[in-house]
């Protein structure tokens, strides 16, 4: 069944890699001309993007799909391929990421008995308890905190200490995983928490911070201030 000629999955992928995938070179391809080197760099780019999408992807299957397009003898119609791909990206791939994340967080908790887990999967250890009389309790309580955010492989994305700033916001405005974490410590307390994607930046990630989709994040949080809403409201009434 011939595939629809529209290249809807990876724009220009077949065109860019057709030469490289048309025959198995086994690493013997010679970059004799500048245009060959440019083609190789483009191939690297495509490969890196595919690797980010799914590091387990079968490269030979990618090439076979390109060969079949040029043979005009594909195994799926354009509509069948489109339906499968969208289902994979929107459902199967995120599910695989969640399963891996769950195993990863379970392994952390099992390997270190100082770690505990919340219902949402936040896997944490309290390194300093802080003032138990000053624990944020409601979403309207205001908190001041400093934090360091790292990826699962240890790459630092953000540090309040390096930037010299302090986040001040209502508890309810924080990401769910951070909100759960600060409710476990008092003012002056510190916590280290592995926060699953669903309780952090989700499937969207955050390009500004360099957080990819479905990213598990490691937070070091210091709760430097707590302003209870009930106390703030009472003070305002007394001023009237």
- The full set of domain ranges for the chain reads 13-75, 100-234
Residue tagged 């759960």 (tokens): 180
pLDDT bucket at 24, cuts 50 / 70 / 90: low
Q: Tell me the chain's radius of gyration from C-alpha atoms.
A: 25
Residue 200 has pLDDT above 90, yes or no: yes
- Mean per-residue pLDDT for 95-107? 88
User: pLDDT per residue over 130-161, tens digit each?
Assistant: 999 999 989 999 999 999 999 999 999 999 99
What is the rounded average pLDDT for all residues in the chain?
83
**Based on the number of CB atoms within 10 Å of its own CB, is 196 exposed (0-12), middle (13-18) or buried (19 or more)?**
buried
Most confident of 29-43, 86-100, 129-143: 129-143
For 15, the token pair is 């065109």
Query: What is the DSSP annotation of 69-96?
Result: HHHT--SS-HHHHHHHHHHIIIIIHHHH
pTM: 0.64
pLDDT bucket at 13, cuts 50 / 70 / 90: very low
Q: CATH second-level architecture of 100-234?
A: Roll (3.10)
pLDDT bucket at 15, cuts 50 / 70 / 90: very low
The predicted pLDDT at position 179 comes to 96
The percentage of the chain sitting over the pLDDT mark of 90, rounded to a whole number, equals 47
- Mean per-residue pLDDT for 167-172? 95
> 28-32, 114-118, 183-187 — which is least confidently predicted?
28-32
Among left, alpha and beta (phi > 0; psi -120 to 50; other), residue 174 is beta
User: pLDDT per residue over 54-85, tens digit each?
Assistant: 667 788 888 888 788 888 889 988 898 888 88
């Amino acid at each position: 069944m011939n595939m629809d000629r529209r290249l809807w999955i990876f724009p220009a992928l077949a065109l860019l890699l057709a030469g490289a995938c048309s025959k198995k070179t086994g690493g013997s391809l010679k970059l004799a001309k500048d245009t060959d080197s440019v083609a190789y760099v483009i191939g690297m780019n495509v490969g890196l993007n595919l690797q980010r999408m799914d590091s387990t992807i079968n490269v030979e299957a990618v090439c076979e799909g390109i060969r079949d397009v040029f043979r005009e003898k594909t195994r799926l119609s354009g509509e069948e391929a489109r339906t499968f791909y969208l289902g994979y990206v929107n459902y199967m791939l995120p599910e695989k990421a969640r399963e891996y994340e769950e195993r990863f967080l379970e392994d952390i908790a099992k390997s270190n008995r100082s770690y505990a887990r919340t219902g949402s999967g936040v896997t944490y250890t309290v390194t300093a308890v802080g003032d138990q009389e000053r624990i944020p309790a409601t979403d309207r309580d205001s908190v001041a905190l400093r934090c360091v955010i790292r990826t699962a492989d240890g790459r630092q994305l953000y540090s309040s200490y390096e930037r010299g700033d302090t986040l001040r916001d209502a508890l309810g405005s924080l990401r769910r995983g951070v909100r759960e974490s600060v409710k476990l410590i008092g003012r002056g307390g510190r916590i280290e928490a592995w926060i699953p994607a669903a309780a952090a930046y989700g499937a969207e990630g955050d390009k500004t911070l360099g957080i990819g989709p479905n990213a598990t994040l490691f937070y070091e949080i210091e709760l430097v201030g707590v302003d209870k809403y009930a106390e703030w409201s009472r003070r305002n009434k007394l001023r009237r």
